[in-house]
C-alpha cells in the first residue's frame, strides 16, 4: 500500500515541504506578525502545512527567551539566552512537532496514529491524540523514564516497551514501520523521513527567537540532538527567514550529542558526508532523549552546520549532570539531562576558545526535569530529622 506521506523511493528519504514563498511574503512581514494575537506555532500559519482549523487547543510554543545572567556570568559569556521549551503543554519542545503532525492526521481523516520514541515525542503525541480524539500507539524503549511513562499511560495511549535486539537499530522504529505497512496506521514520530509535516512545527522556535530578539539573530544556537530533526527544523526556518528578507545572517548552528551516542557529531567533526555516518551500535547516556542510534535527518543538519559555519560538540555524562545542576541553581530552570546538554557544550566551546565572552548565544533547553527526576536526584539525599529545633541546629552546624 502506498502511503502519501512517505517517499515513494522507499529509501527513508525526507519529503521536504516547499511553500510558495512569493505568496507567503505577501503577508509574512515584521509588521503583520507583530500585530498578530495568536502566539506559538499557529502565529506563523503561512509556513505551517496544515489548516489551523484542525489544530488542538493545547497552546504549544510561545516559550520565553530568558537572559541567563547568572549562568552566563559563571560560564563567562555575557549575552547567554535560554529558549525555555520546558514550558510546553507536555513539558518538551516535541509539542511543536506533534501539534502539526497530529493536526495533519485529522486533516487527512486518519484515526490510528503510531510513534516510535524514547518518550518525549510519544507523550506529546499521546496528549495531542487525546485532545483531538485520535487513537495513539507508542513504541518506547525498555527503560523508558517514569515521568514519560506516566504521561503516556494517563493520556490514554496504547504503550508497548520494545527490546533492542540488534546493534545499531532502533527496534521501536522497525516495529512502527511494520504497523504503517501492514495496518495502514499514520506514522508520526519526530523524524522527517516518516512524517514530513511534524518537522515544520519546531521551525517556530526560530521564528519566535528572531522576533524576541527584535528581528536579529544570535552568533550561536546550541541544539540538543538525537535524530537531527530539531536541527533540521532550525535550519529550514533560518533559510526561510532569510529568503523572505526577515534576517540577513545565519547564527552558527551547533548540534550537541552525548559522547555515548555521537554518530552525527563525529561525522561533522571528521568532515564526513551524511552517507558516511555510522549508526551507534549500543547508544548509552543519561540523556535518554538523544539516544537515536541513527540520525535520520542528519543530511539537513550537516548542511545547516556547514552553511552557517557552525560546529558540533559531544559532551560527557559528568558534564551533562553539572549542566542540569547549574541551570537549576543559577537560573531556576529545571531541565532533563537531554534538555541541558547545550549548556555543557557552551562551557566546552568557551574553554576551547571557539566561543568568545562577547558572543550572543542561544541555548535550546528542550525538556523539563520532571520528566525523569530520578536520573539526577533521589530522596535519599535529603536528610531526615526529628521535628525539633535542636535537630535542625545539629544539621546546620
Ligand atoms: C527529541 C529530543 C531532542 C532532540 O531532537 P532530535 O530531533 O531527535 O534531534 C532534544 N531534546 C529532547 C529533550 C528531546 O526529547
The torsion of the CA quartet 232, 96, 333, 326, rounded to 10 degrees, works out to -20
**Dist. CA 206 → ligand 1 center (Å):** 16
Is the CB of residue 267 below 6 angstroms from any atom belonging to ligand 1? no
| Cα–Cα distance, 175 to 49 (Å, whole number) | 27
**Dist. CA 389 → ligand 1 center (Å):** 46
Would you state the cell numbers that stand for residue 40, as one nine-digit string? 506559538
Same domain for 257 and 181? no
| Cα–Cα distance, 92 to 85 (Å, whole number) | 6
Is the CB of residue 338 below 6 angstroms from any atom belonging to ligand 1? yes
Is the CB of residue 234 below 6 angstroms from any atom belonging to ligand 1? no
Burial class (CB within 10 angstroms; exposed 0-12, middle 13-18, buried 19+) of 137: buried
Q: What residue numbers bound the domain in which 261 lies?
A: 65-89+199-377
59 in any annotated domain: no
For residue 2, what pLDDT is reported? 55
Same domain for 252 and 333? yes
Q: Which atom of ligand 1 is nearest to the CA of 339?
A: 13
Same domain for 187 and 128? yes
Same domain for 324 and 358? yes
Name the residue with the closest Cα to ligand 1, atom 15: 289
Same domain for 168 and 245? no
pLDDT in tens, 197-241: 999 999 999 999 999 999 999 999 999 999 999 999 999 999 999
Same domain for 176 and 244? no
For residue 64, what pLDDT is reported? 98
Is the CB of residue 82 below 6 angstroms from any atom belonging to ligand 1? no
Q: Which atom of ligand 1 is nearest to the CA of 118?
A: 15
Is the CB of residue 227 below 6 angstroms from any atom belonging to ligand 1? yes
pLDDT in tens, 68-92: 999 999 999 999 999 999 999 999 9
390 in any annotated domain: no
The torsion of the CA quartet 291, 296, 300, 303, rounded to 10 degrees, works out to 70
Same domain for 149 and 242? no
19 in any annotated domain: no
At 135, which CATH number? 3.40.50.1100
pLDDT in tens, the chain (397 residues): 457 788 888 788 889 999 999 999 999 999 999 999 999 999 999 999 999 999 999 999 999 999 999 999 999 999 999 999 999 999 999 999 999 999 999 999 999 999 999 899 999 999 999 999 999 999 999 989 889 999 999 999 999 999 888 888 888 999 999 999 999 999 999 999 999 999 999 999 999 999 999 999 999 999 999 999 999 999 999 999 999 999 999 999 999 999 999 999 999 999 999 999 999 999 999 999 999 999 999 999 999 999 999 999 999 999 999 999 999 999 999 999 999 999 999 999 999 999 999 999 999 999 999 999 888 888 888 889 999 999 999 999 9
List beta partners, residue 313: 256
Residue pair 278/285 in contact (Cβ under 8 Å)? The answer is no
316 in any annotated domain: yes
Same domain for 209 and 356? yes
Cβ-proximal residues to 170 (8 Å cutoff; 6+ apart), any chain: 116, 164, 292, 293, 294
| Cα–Cα distance, 181 to 193 (Å, whole number) | 15
Q: What are phi and psi of 22, to 5 degrees?
A: -65, -45
pTM of the model: 0.96
Q: What are phi and psi of 224, to 5 degrees?
A: -60, 130
Given 178, 195, 212, the domain boundary residue is 195
Residue pair 14/199 in contact (Cβ under 8 Å)? The answer is yes
Closest of 198, 230, 204, 220 to residue 62, by C-alpha = 204
**Dist. CA 338 → ligand 1 center (Å):** 7
Among 125, 338, 343, say which to mutate for ligand 1: greatest number of ligand atoms within 8 Å of CB.
338
- Secondary structure of the chain in the HEC alphabet? CCCCCCCCCCCCCCCCCCCCHHHHHHHCCHHHHHCCCCCCHHHHHHHCCCCHHHCCCCCCCCCCEEECHHHHHHHCCCEEEEEEHHHCCCCECHHHHHHHHHHHHHHCCCCEEEEECCCHHHHHHHHHHHHHCCEEEEEEECCCCHHHHHHHHHCCCEEEEECCCCCCCCHHHHHHHHHHHHHCCEECCCCHHHCCCHHHCCHHHHHHHHHHCCCCCCCEEEEECCCCHHHHHHHHHHHHHHHCCCCCCCCEEEEEEECCCCHHHHHHHCCCCHHHCCCCCCCCCCCHHHCCCCCCCHHHHHHHHHHHCCCCEEECHHHHHHHHHHHHHHHCCCECHHHHHHHHHHHHHHHCCCCCCCCEEEEEECEEHHHCHHHCCCHHHCCCCCCCHHHHHHHHC
234 in any annotated domain: yes
**Dist. CA 397 → ligand 1 center (Å):** 43
232 in any annotated domain: yes
Same domain for 241 and 117? no
Amino acid at each position: 500500500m502506498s502511503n502519501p506521506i512517505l517517499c515513494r523511493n522507499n529509501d527513508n528519504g525526507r519529503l521536504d515541504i516547499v511553500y510558495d514563498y512569493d505568496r507567503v511574503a505577501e503577508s509574512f512581514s515584521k509588521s503583520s506578525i507583530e500585530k498578530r494575537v495568536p502566539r506559538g506555532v499557529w502565529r506563523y500559519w503561512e509556513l505551517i502545512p496544515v489548516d489551523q482549523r484542525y489544530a488542538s487547543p493545547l497552546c504549544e510554543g510561545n516559550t520565553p527567551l530568558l537572559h541567563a545572567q547568572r549562568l552566563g556570568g559563571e560560564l563567562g559569556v555575557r549575552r547567554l539566552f535560554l529558549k525555555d521549551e520546558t514550558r510546553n503543554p507536555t513539558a518538551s519542545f516535541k509539542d511543536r512537532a506533534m501539534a502539526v503532525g497530529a493536526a495533519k492526521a485529522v486533516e487527512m481523516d486518519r484515526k490510528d496514529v503510531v510513534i516510535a520514541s524514547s518518550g518525549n515525542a510519544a507523550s506529546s503525541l499521546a496528549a495531542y491524540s487525546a485532545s483531538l480524539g485520535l487513537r495513539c500507539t507508542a513504541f518506547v524503549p525498555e527503560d523508558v523514564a517514569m515521568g514519560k511513562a506516566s504521561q503516556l499511560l494517563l493520556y490514554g495511549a496504547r504503550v508497548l516497551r520494545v527490546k533492542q535486539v540488534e546493534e545499531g537499530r532502533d527496534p521501536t522504529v522497525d516495529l512502527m514501520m511494520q504497523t504503517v505497512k501492514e495496518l495502514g496506521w499514520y506514522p508520526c514520530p519526530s523524524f522527517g523521513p516518516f512524517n514530513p509535516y511534524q518537522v515544520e512545527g519546531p521551525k517556530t522556535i526560530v521564528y519566535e527567537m528572531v522576533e524576541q530578539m527584535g528581528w536579529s539573530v544570535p552568533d550561536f544556537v546550541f541544539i540538543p540532538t538525537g535524530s537531527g530533526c530539531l536541527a533540521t527544523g532550525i535550519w529550514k526556518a533560518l533559510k526561510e527567514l532569510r529568503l523572505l528578507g526577515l534576517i540577513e545572517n545565519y547564527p552558527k548552528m551547533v548540534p550537541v550529542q552525548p559522547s555515548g551516542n555521537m554518530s552525527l557529531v563525529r561525522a561533522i567533526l571528521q568532515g564526513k558526508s551524511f552517507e558516511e555516518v555510522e549508526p551507534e551500535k549500543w547508544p548509552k547516556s543519561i540523556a535518554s532523549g538523544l539516544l537515536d542510534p541513527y540520525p535520520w535527518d542528519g543530511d539537513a543538519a550537516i548542511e545547516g552546520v556547514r552553511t552557517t559555519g557552525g560546529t558540533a560538540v559531544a559532551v560527557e555524562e559528568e558534564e551533562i549532570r553539572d549542566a542540569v545542576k547549574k541551570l537549576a541553581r543559577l537560573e531556576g530552570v529545571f531541565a532533563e539531562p537531554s534538555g541541558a546538554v547545550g549548556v555543557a557544550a557552551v562551557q566546552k566551546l568557551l574553554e576551547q576558545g571557539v566561543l568568545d565572552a562577547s558572543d550572543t548565544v542561544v541555548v535550546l533547553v528542550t525538556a523539563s526535569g520532571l520528566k525523569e527526576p530520578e536520573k539526577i536526584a533521589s530522596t535519599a539525599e535529603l536528610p531526615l530529622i526529628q521535628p525539633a529545633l535542636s535537630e535542625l541546629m545539629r544539621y546546620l552546624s
